[in-house]
Amino acid sequence: MAAYVYPEYEVVRDRTKCINCRVCERQCSHGVHAYLAGAKTMTEDSSKCVNCHRCVCMCPTHALKIVKSDDTYKLNANWTCRTVNEIYRQADTGGVLLSSMGNPAEYPIYWDKMLINASQVTNPPIDPLREPMETELWLGARKVSIERDEKGRLRDTLPVQLKLDLPIMFSAMSYGSISYNAHESLARAAAELGIYYNTGEGGLHRDFYKYGANTIVQVASGRFGVFREYLETAAAIEIKMGQGAKPGIGGHLPGAKITADVAETRMIPEGTDAISPAPHHDIYSIEDLRQLVWSLKEATDYKKPVFVKIAAVHNIAAIASGIARSGADVIAIDGFRGGTGAAPTRIRDNVGIPVELALAQVDQRLREEGIRDNVSVVVGGSVRSSSDLLKAVALGADACYIGTAALLALGCHLCRSCHDGKCNWGIATQRPDLVKRLDPEIGYKRLVNLVTAWKHELEEMMGGMGINSVEALRGNRLMLRGIGLTDRELKILGIKCAGESI
């Protein structure tokens, strides 16, 4: 006996505006809308609606809206509607609850509890329209001392570094979890912006080898699509140890999404589930990680920086310290709000910590140990705006990964149902009829616009602070003040309270 769960959303159709054009029926991959020929009218099945807003946006007469249902069980602060419905679903299926995108629960958002400084009187602001602002940066170990050989000659060997025109990169999203057109949009935008996109764990489609100079390729526990040419084509290599949306577990791309093209790229049979294990089966210590870092460097003639990506977890500072000593060039930290194509709901919503706290602790620990310049730190996991970006850099990040924001620029409406493979916006799907809804020509321009807008805003805010380079902003926590935070939180973030002077 299946329990009846009332739909979470209701489709409201204004019949005075509806012209029965059936656009909504054609646009909805979930089969919500249907035409009743006999009655010459449209009907809807709200139980199938995921609130992706495709029909709302496409309806030519604005006849549709999707509203949150106000139907509720008897009010109970402990047993909320969501909790009860989840139990009904699990009793129906016996399965793990699955979700997509980032953790939507109401935890504190520390970006919103930090305020930015501005220059007044003695330290004048800088006008970014009239004065140069430096947003370029290099990721990787820095030379902090002059070295000479036995004859006193200057050693001019620099560690391998990755140059970025601004401190933004597109997060790892695999071909398979997102569509070919979404990947192409990201790759083209990265190339135009002088930044990088990341293949995720799905390998690199042959068509995108031409964007190799702006590509970071991932080596994850499943090793999908990893071979020498893949490594050599990229600008950098990222070892994925963990992911913010699902720390401590592997990945799972259902067989339905493993089309012929995805299968070839991943180097696995078509239609089989792509399951990457929770651990790398050759890594059980920092020493093991070090071996993989140096194996990848050796395989690419020591020309590629190696990133190690980890989820933000409780002991993050000590873990990062180990990674910095493993020979990695960049540590990428993914916070618990990071997006995903599919994750168990309980893990997405309960495991890990906010990236703001993780970043502050990692930066501080690496400084205390005198190894901060041996490695760069990149953070991701819900960097939503240029002000989040600026705050991240002031807290100690060299650069940020943006994932969800990039998908929003491509048209994502955050319906959080990527895992069902029916994304109506052509992003998290492999269905050809849906993929073609995202035009990569438009997609890449929208990404370029988004990042360009953030660059302008970043320069404006930096100018207001009297800072003219990202390098001078990095780790400059005096530029931040906390508001509504406890003393303990302020201490972990390493910032003063709003109103406190230096």
Query: What's the CA gap between 215 and 393, in Å, rounded?
Result: 22
Pick the stretch among 67-75, 114-122, 168-176, 406-414 that binds ligand SF4 (CB under 6 A): 406-414
Per CB under 6 A, does 42 bind ligand SF4? yes
What is the smallest separation between the CB atom of 392 and ligand SF4, expressed in angstroms?
A: 23
Q: CA 177, CA 173: separation in Å to the nearest integer? A: 7
Interaction of residue 417 with ligand SF4, rule CB under 6 A? yes
Task: Give me 435's structure tokens.
Answer: 């993929």
DSSP 375: S
| Binder among 195, 262, 377, 415 for ligand SF4 (CB under 6 A) | 415
Region near ligand SF4 per CB under 6 A, out of 54-62, 189-197, 320-328, 329-337: 54-62
The single residue among 330, 407, 473, 485 that binds ligand SF4, judged by CB under 6 A, is 407
Please identify which residue in 28, 49, 59, 66 interacts with ligand SF4, judged by CB under 6 A.
59
State in angstroms the smallest separation of the CB of 55 from ligand SF4: 6
239 near 308, Cβ under 8 Å?
yes
Which region, judged by CB under 6 A, interacts with ligand SF4, from 21-29, 113-121, 248-256, 384-392?
A: 21-29
- Euclidean distance between CA atoms 44 and 63, whole angstroms: 13
Q: Does 100 bind ligand SF4 (CB under 6 A)?
A: yes
* Of the candidate residues 10, 13, 174, 184, the single one contacting ligand SF4 (CB under 6 A): 13
| Contact criterion met (CB below 8 Å) for 197 and 216 | yes
Rounded to a whole number of angstroms, the minimum distance from the CB of residue 69 to ligand SF4 is: 19
When binding is defined by CB under 6 A, the residue of 12, 20, 123, 229 that contacts ligand SF4 is 20
CB 362, CB 333: distance < 8 Å: yes
Piece of the chain touching ligand SF4 by CB under 6 A; list 17-25, 137-145, 300-308, 382-390: 17-25
Residues 166 and 136: beta-carbon distance below 8 Å: yes
Is there binding between residue 22 and ligand SF4 (CB under 6 A)? yes
Residue among 416, 437, 455, 474 that touches ligand SF4 (CB under 6 A): 416
Cβ–Cβ under 8 Å, residues 167 and 389 = yes
425 near ligand SF4, rule: CB under 6 A: yes
476 touches 394 (CB < 8 A)? yes
By CB under 6 A, residue 428 contacts ligand SF4: yes
* Site size for ligand SF4 (CB under 6 A): 29
**Contact present, 200 and 225 (Cβ < 8 Å):** no
Beta strands in 5-113 (DSSP E): 9-13, 33-36, 41-44, 64-68, 98-99
Tell the smallest beta-carbon distance from residue 223 to ligand SF4 (Å).
26
The verdict on 173 binding ligand SF4 (CB under 6 A) reads no
409 sits near ligand SF4 (criterion: CB under 6 A):
no
CA angle (214, 395, 338) in 5-degree steps: 55
> Which residue in the set 49, 52, 162, 231 belongs to the binding site for ligand SF4 (CB under 6 A)?
52
Contact 196, 170 (CB under 8 A): yes
| Cβ distance to ligand SF4 smaller for residue 416 or 455 | 416
Minimum distance from residue 27 beta carbon to ligand SF4 (Å):
8
Position 326 contacts ligand SF4 (CB under 6 A): no
Radius of gyration of the chain (CA): 24
- Provide φ and ψ at 482, rounded to 5°: -90, 150
**Which DSSP string corresponds to 317-336?**
HHHHHHHHHTT-SEEEEE-T
Q: How far is CA 164 from CA 63, 194, 354, 455, in A?
A: 46, 6, 25, 12
Which range in 90-98, 143-151, 197-205, 423-431 contacts ligand SF4 by CB under 6 A?
423-431
* Residue 418 contacts ligand SF4 per CB under 6 A: yes
Beta bridge partners of 119: none
Q: Which residues pair with 496 in a beta bridge?
A: 481
For position 24 contacting ligand SF4 by CB under 6 A, the verdict is yes
Cα–Cα distances (Å) from 361 to 158, 314, 318, 471, in that order, read 28, 10, 9, 19
User: Which residues make up the interface to ligand SF4 (CB under 6 A)?
Assistant: 13, 18-24, 42, 52, 59-61, 63-64, 100-101, 407, 412-418, 423, 425, 427-428
